[in-house]
Amino acid sequence: MQASRRTGVRRSAAALLALAVGAAGATVALPGVAAQEVGAEQVVNGDFSAGMAPWFSTPDPGAVTDGVLCADVPGGLANPWDAIVGQNDIELEAGVTYRLSFDASSTPAANVRALVGLAVAPFDAYFADSPVVGPTMQTYTYTFTQPASTPDGQVAFQLGGGSTAHRVCLDNVSLRGGAEPEPYVPDTGPRVRVNQVGYLPHGPKGATLVTEATARVRWALEDGRGRVVARGRTRPAGVDPTSGLNVHTIDFGDVERPGRGYTLVADGETSHPFDIAADAYERLRVDALSVYYPQRSGTPIDGAIVGDEAYSRAAGHVGVAPNRGDLDVGCQPPEVSLPVYGEPWTCDYTLDVVGGWYDAGDHGKYVVNGGISVAQLMSTWERNRTARSADHGALGDRTLRVPERGNRVPDVLDEARWELEWMLTMQVPEGRPLAGMVHHKVHDNAWTGLPLDPAADPMVRELHRPSTAATLNLAAVAAQGARVFRAYDRAFADRLLAAARTAWTAAGANPPLYAPVEDGASGGGPYDDDDVTDETYWAAAELYVTTGERAFRDAVLASPLHRADVFDVDGFDWGHVAALGRLDLATLPNALPAGDRQRVRRSVADAADALLELQAQQPWGQPYAPADNAWAWGSTSQILNNLVVIATAHDLTGDRDYRDAVVEGMDFLLGRNALNISYVTGYGDVFSQNQHSRMYAAQLNAESPHPPDGFVAGGPNSGIQDPVAQALLSDCPATPQFCYIDDIESWSTNEITINWNAALAWVASYVADQDTGR
């Protein structure tokens, strides 16, 4: 998994807009910056004794009285940086620990976002915090270790974004190097780590104990009234390389009595409470699929449908000022776009690309990430209709929180249609160069800050050049959509199949056009990919399953991937999609030669066997352990997609070992891990809730909501590409489970994305089906 798209903030010369978090890629130390005196004050006139100079502010300069700067901030400003006080030309040195302190008050209480970062592109934020400041002047003090040297630093206070007017006062602003580092130590809670949501009565039940003991220790399972219902001894597992912790495992799978509020006690520690319940995953099945509605672009979001009015918002990117909108979007101009087949590229047309889902924490929309996402949502539906263990009524009409409830179409397909309709708009029109190919993405022409409501985004939107990968993604998902919508809307199904055929033909008629990594410098991530053999195989498979036509069967059989092992033990993702084709060829009716069909099905079981062997070696229960101990960006989705493979093997064979492995694999995501945190919002006693997002930013603005329940965070990432993670987690790559922080600024460990949640939705639906123990 690669960096998909990172955030930053524009800063116009006139308005001197504020810093916000990150930009694409890791920060690089600048040579030639002289080391500064330890303890030297970096802020000029921090006590405002000389008035405002050299501070800048917008829109109201405020007034300095008796050495205190006070500014009246109007209510209703769309963004925090719409009211700002800051100072530029701050010299920062890599490796130095700085102490930032200031006095602040606000009447009435309001968020004040304090930042130290880069005043020029790419506008990295090296430190940020957003305390709720009250009417009494208080001192706020922070330390952070600077990841990069620069003479272009900035100290800034973002004061806007609240609904009510308030008066903010600042004094004694100080930034000094040479502070004593304060190591970041996560609160990992009790040393007994469990699935904080719960366990199925008829299924595996495992836990992990962090302990210095090398010999077995006693454990006890207590019910909600504190009565011991089971006892046993742990199994020592030694030092786990993914966490650096000495651990034991606990197996209490023999306990099948349902109940609420169970706890495990071992080595003097008591776990977080959990349930044993047949319905442990029913809510997650619904929530993981329902988060797509508030991600919709181009339509107002009704908070009552989501479940909380805090999620209500105006339609995003529909051309209502200040929003430029997606109604009439042109291509990148040739001076900034990348060449096509060695020649400068732009286009002389515009497209209406309203709709679709916002991809992740930003407002971009990307065909290749949308492709795997909508495919897995439709596959969740297809599995629900065909698998032996599925609850066939669980995903029909009126089962999710979507506005289309009651239209006699399964709600999951209503949601999938929202993305499919948008993907169709990204196809190059007939009669134009590269007709039938698909534009890779559409997003702002520069990074925006957070929080930022989609309707308040003022940036110009641009279509980026077509790519073969995007074209084949459309071919694959439109073919899949044609078969799943056939029973509900024949005209739409026909339209999808026609688009799939057009895309397939266009991809074959043009030389491969790869999305380059260079197309991620501003406003959106690159989603670069220089190998489309997997997309070709996937598209051929979907077209063949849908149509049964010989030409597509021949394309499947001719693919070099058809007889290859397409299941990497590190998981599949948007850039490695051959597994999607293989899974559908294995599970859905088709006329592959009998021996070949059997080999295809066997390949899924063989991949699952390898994952079970790997999982058996992990004391935390996850089927994921990269050989180099380097956990991927979005590691939670890699784990989830491995669980998809194992679950499919269960569907194909009925072997309970596969079923139990999937159920146990969910333990890691829901709390049985080194950090003792559930990576799914709203699930467990301690869960991720400050995921990187412009729309859900409660950490930065108390008036903004947290992400809706059912969103999965990216999770541990050995690369720690963002400045916040680099500053706080610099020692974590040796123990990658600790390469995560629940901070909205940590986009490389804590973002939410539509593709990661698609994998969660598929697995949650599968596990919810396993309540009977089949």
Domain residue ranges of the chain, discontinuous segments joined by +: 1-179, 192-276, 281-529
What pLDDT, on a 0 to 100 scale, did the predictor assign at position 31? Answer: 31
Question: Any catalytic annotation for residue 742?
Answer: yes
Burial code (b: 16+ CB inside 10 Å, e: under 16) for 658-682 equals bbbbbbbbbbbbbbbbbbbbbbbbb
What pLDDT, on a 0 to 100 scale, did the predictor assign at position 773? Answer: 67
The answer to whether residue 90 scores a pLDDT higher than 90 is: yes
Domain 281-529, classified CATH 1.50.10.10, yes or no: yes
What pLDDT, on a 0 to 100 scale, did the predictor assign at position 481? Answer: 98
Q: How many C-beta atoms surround the C-beta of residue 483 within 10 A?
A: 18
Domain 1-179, classified CATH 1.25.40.10, yes or no: no
What pLDDT, on a 0 to 100 scale, did the predictor assign at position 33? Answer: 34
Q: Name the active-site residue from 82, 275, 362, 570.
A: 362
Residue 756 to residue 641: CA distance in whole angstroms = 9
Residue 383 to residue 390: CA distance in whole angstroms = 7
Do the domains spanning 192-276 and 281-529 agree at the CATH topology level? no
What pLDDT, on a 0 to 100 scale, did the predictor assign at position 40? Answer: 87
Contact indicator for 534, 328 with CB cutoff of 8 Å: no
Question: Any catalytic annotation for residue 462?
Answer: no
Question: Any catalytic annotation for residue 751?
Answer: yes
Model confidence at 162, in pLDDT bands (50, 70, 90)? confident
Residue 505 to residue 284: CA distance in whole angstroms = 40
Residue 365 to residue 441: CA distance in whole angstroms = 6
Model confidence at 774, in pLDDT bands (50, 70, 90)? low
Residue 181 to residue 393: CA distance in whole angstroms = 56
Going from the C-alpha of 171 to that of each of 69, 91, 374, the distances in angstroms are: 6, 21, 51
Q: Is 608 helix (H, G, I), strand (E, B) or coil?
A: helix
Q: How many C-beta atoms surround the C-beta of residue 432 within 10 A?
A: 12
Q: What is 192-276's CATH number?
A: 2.60.40.10
The answer to whether residue 525 scores a pLDDT higher than 80 is: yes
Q: What residues form DSSP beta bridges with 313?
A: 301
What pLDDT, on a 0 to 100 scale, did the predictor assign at position 431? Answer: 96
Q: Name the active-site residue from 415, 692, 722, 743.
A: 692
- Report the Cα 45 to chain-centroid distance in Å: 41
Mean pLDDT for 284-306 is 98
Q: Name the active-site residue from 742, 743, 745, 771.
A: 742
Answer with the residue of higher pLDDT: 601 or 33: 601
Q: Is 717 exposed, middle or buried (0-12, 13-18, 19+ CB in 10 A)?
A: buried
Residue 343 to residue 338: CA distance in whole angstroms = 9
Q: Provide, rounded to the nearest whole percent, the portion of the chain with pLDDT above 90.
A: 86
Q: Provide, rounded to the nearest whole percent, the portion of the chain with pLDDT above 70.
A: 95
Q: Which residues lie closer than 8 Å to 564 by C-beta, 6 or more apart?
A: 578
The encoded tokens of residue 23 equal 């930009």
pLDDT digits (tens, 9 = 90+) for 34-83: 334 458 899 999 999 999 999 998 887 778 998 999 999 999 888 888 89
The answer to whether residue 29 scores a pLDDT higher than 60 is: no
CA atoms lying within 13 Å on the CB side of residue 79: 24
Mean pLDDT for 629-633 is 97
The answer to whether residue 586 scores a pLDDT higher than 50 is: yes
Question: Any catalytic annotation for residue 326?
Answer: no
Q: What residues form DSSP beta bridges with 340?
A: 343
Q: Torsion angle, CA of 529/533/539/544, rounded to 10 degrees?
A: -170
Q: Name the active-site residue from 124, 528, 751, 769.
A: 751
